[in-house]
Amino acid sequence: MSEPPFAPAGVPFLRASGVHRTYHVGGAAIEVLRGVDLSVGRGERVFLCGPSGAGKTTLLYVLGGLERPDQGEVLLEGKSVYGGSDARQAGLRNSEIGYIFQNYLLLPELTALENVCLPALIGGRQAKARGEELLRKVGLGLRLQHLPAQLSGGEQQRVAIARSLINNPSVVFADEPTGNLDSKTGTEVMNLLLSVVAEEGKTLMVVTHDTQLAGQGDRMLVLRDGMLVD
């Protein structure tokens, strides 16, 4: 197999090789990913763009361990994301990968601090001090005990950013993190995400339809018809 066209210099931190993903809907096979190869370096901030239906979110989920590919492999620091038992895969997702979603996915009955600490509790760890530190970093030090309904959309996404970092993951995946926000708030949230990720020393991959926002990253990849294009 030839070297993926988007490989940065050095040993890849995250690598996908020959990734295919097909959905079956009503008896029809819809090929969403068609042999994707890519490499991401440690600490890189990569933005994935492309038209609706190109497969951006599917690729992000495959890279992040949320959706197993039909063919191909995904390696994180040289280790298979989908290798071993279900428990081993779940442990890897909990400890090494952080997620940020367009719809925030905060539990409405939990406070901001409780939402942030939840992934740590799932992993059997106490992280109140870390949660408080992260909420202060995202500008919500005075909102620790607020419920999601008491927060604006931008504030809820700030909580989600803090939550993605609670377990000190090596990589953060963000799926349209500004998609539900107005332009001004979206820009503020993206700037905050880039700043906090850089401060924490994390690798970042973001799906976005906004090429202007994507220009703030180290690289922009374009997915079209299930394949990366130049």
Q: What is the pLDDT of residue 185?
A: 94
Domain boundaries, the chain: 44-57+86-229
124, 91 in Cβ contact below 8 A?
Answer: no
| pLDDT above 90: percentage of residues in the chain | 84
Name the band, by pLDDT with cuts 50, 70 and 90, for residue 27.
Answer: confident
Q: Flag whether pLDDT at 220 surpasses 80.
A: yes
Q: What is the pLDDT of residue 170?
A: 95
Mean pLDDT of all residues in 128-153: 96
Q: What's the pLDDT at 11?
A: 62
Just give the CATH number of 44-57+86-229.
3.40.50.300
- For residues 6-11, give the mean pLDDT: 49
pLDDT digits (tens, 9 = 90+) for 154-172: 999 999 999 999 999 999 9
